Amino acid sequence: MPHSPDDTRASGGGSSEGREGVSDPEAAPPLPAATLASGAGWRGEPAHGARAGYAEIWSLSWPVMLAQVLANAVSLIDIAMVGRLGSNAVAAVGYAAQFFFLAQSVLFAVGFACVALMARAIGAGDAAGARQALVASLAVAAATALAVMAAVLAAPRPLLRLLGADAAIVDATIPYLTLLMGSTGLLAVSVTLESGLRADRDTRTPMQIAVAVAAVKTALNLVLIFGALGFPRLELVGAGLATVVSQAVGVCLFAAVVIRARPSSPLALRAGDLVAAVPRLREVVRITLPGVGERLVMNLAILAYFRVLSDFGPVAIAAYTVGIRILSFSWIPGTAFATAAATLVGQALGSGDPGAAARAGWRATRLALVVAVTLGALCALARAPLARLFTNDAALVAELGPFLLCLAIAQPFLQAHFTLGGAHRGAGDTWTPLIAATVGNWALRVPLAVLFAYVLRTPVVWVWYALVFDHLARTAWLAWSFQRGAWRHTLSTAPAR
């Protein structure tokens, strides 16, 4: 039964540990090379028709999976290192991360627009149009990053207090937050150039860059946080500097790819592309805005859902926080197949072959389902051993069992709607994923959680299963929309001149 508000306050339901759990991977699946921080080049013809088969989809997906596994591993290592500094340092990272995730989510939305426009132009054989879309996306991403950074750094103390941070945590957070938000300009460039490479069916170069950036980030953490090799011990400031420097390395590596691109490549930017890209700015913004709306809808829903969970006490909060992180690795295939679907759908539409676009989307979804069922079954069968890897608290292990089973059941739906959402975005349709997220979260997840917790007063396991209905609804909506086919006409197939 839900605890009373007094019980919740006494038990620490609103603790910093709980707030860190809000950064749910459902809401912001990463683009790993950009987040952490052999190029095929333009093939000159899209992978449509028979060529966009399962092997092609897999070849585009596995580098994304590997890079995301690396991103998750580095994130865990990062937290482990900061954890050596004490609970205040971990809390400071958690608070700062909420603002960074906001900037990251908005930049991912710009990346979706970049993939849609560039893939469409590449499919049409219009390298100049692809370059113009890339330049316009870079401009929108940079302006967005600067706006978010300025808004956060203009009043960091009031914003942190709004999240409930006490004075000591605020003082510890601000220097780290300043460096983290200062790096968003670099992140904007990396996210956009990575999106450009993905639109050109090159997912291996971002994977290789992710490896390099991860190595730099981990090494600098060791040196700057703890003062190794004669460097001063900078603690959280060192962690922030490591983030800035590693992201700068990522930007340099992406820039080197652009500089070395063949003249015929859609990545070979020219001075003339700056002026020619101006008319495309509006199109980038138009596709980006629903993506931003989708991220806000999901993040606000997670906050509301998290608030309901808090009334069940700290064990429920801890189970959610640990469980989400355990299964975040199993969600990676869905985001990887979404990447492949977006690229192949966009290129096929650009080449004037909507049938091939539909086949690519469905094939990617089938692959995602096969992987999801396999991983979900493994997680369901091994939920007790998985829980014991992260905690030896008997109460938490007992709570984690039902939650991990719930997440395992949700896997096929979650990965399917990730993939189908990617297919829609590749066509330039960012409104349908927004509607699906709104229906799943605000018509089902949050209302069901409130119903179970406060009206029916059920055990917390019923609140867990509100997640399944959310992901099922999103899958159904996106599958119906993809079958209906209105996404085929979202953008003009005519090359931009």
Structural domain spans, the chain: 5-489
**Cβ count near 87 (within 10 Å):** 12
pLDDT at 378: 83
Mean pLDDT of the region 24-35: 48
pLDDT at 316: 79
> Are 297 and 155 contacting, i.e. CB atoms less than 8 angstroms apart?
no
pLDDT at 2: 45
Residue 90: is its pLDDT beyond 80? no
Q: Does the pTM exceed 0.85?
A: no
pLDDT at 470: 93
The two three-digit tokens of residue 234, written as one number? 């900078």
Residue 129: is its pLDDT beyond 60? yes
> Are 430 and 113 contacting, i.e. CB atoms less than 8 angstroms apart?
yes
pLDDT at 446: 93
What does pLDDT average to over the chain? 82
Query: Whole-angstrom Cα distance, residue 216 to residue 33?
Result: 12
The 10s digit of each residue's pLDDT in 257-295 is 998 988 888 888 887 788 888 888 999 999 999 988 998
* Alpha carbon of residue 78 to chain centroid: 18
Task: Give residues with Cβ within 8 angstroms of 283, minimum separation 6.
Answer: 113, 117, 133, 136
pLDDT at 71: 78
Residue 494: is its pLDDT beyond 80? no
Query: Whole-angstrom Cα distance, residue 479 to residue 210?
Result: 32
pLDDT at 12: 36
pLDDT at 18: 35
Among candidate residues 294, 242, 285, the one with its CA nearest the CA of residue 105: 294
The 10s digit of each residue's pLDDT in 368-388 is 999 888 888 887 888 888 777
- Tell me, what amino acid is at 206? P
CA–CA distance from 5 to each of 292, 307, 313, 321, 450 (Å)?
Answer: 33, 11, 10, 21, 15
pLDDT at 237: 87
**Cβ count near 153 (within 10 Å):** 15
Query: Whole-angstrom Cα distance, residue 156 to residue 150?
Result: 10
Residue 239: is its pLDDT beyond 50? yes
Mean pLDDT of the region 146-174: 85
> Are 327 and 307 contacting, i.e. CB atoms less than 8 angstroms apart?
no
**3-state SS, one letter per residue, for 65-97:** HHHHHHHHHHHHHHHHHHHCCCHHHHHHHHHHH
Residue 57: is its pLDDT beyond 50? yes
> Are 194 and 187 contacting, i.e. CB atoms less than 8 angstroms apart?
no
Q: How confident is the model at residue 303 (pLDDT cuts 50, 70, 90)?
A: confident
> Are 31 and 110 contacting, i.e. CB atoms less than 8 angstroms apart?
no
Residue 397: is its pLDDT beyond 90? no
Bigger pLDDT: 281 vs 331: 281
CA–CA distance from 378 to each of 375, 383, 386, 408, 415 (Å)?
Answer: 5, 8, 10, 8, 15
Most confident range (mean pLDDT) of 18-22, 92-96, 135-139, 236-240 is 135-139
> Are 182 and 244 contacting, i.e. CB atoms less than 8 angstroms apart?
yes
pLDDT at 441: 93
The two three-digit tokens of residue 321, written as one number? 């926080």
Please compute, for residue 286, the number of CA atoms within 13 A of its CA located in the half-sphere on the CB side.
12
The 10s digit of each residue's pLDDT in 336-358 is 899 899 999 999 999 899 999 99
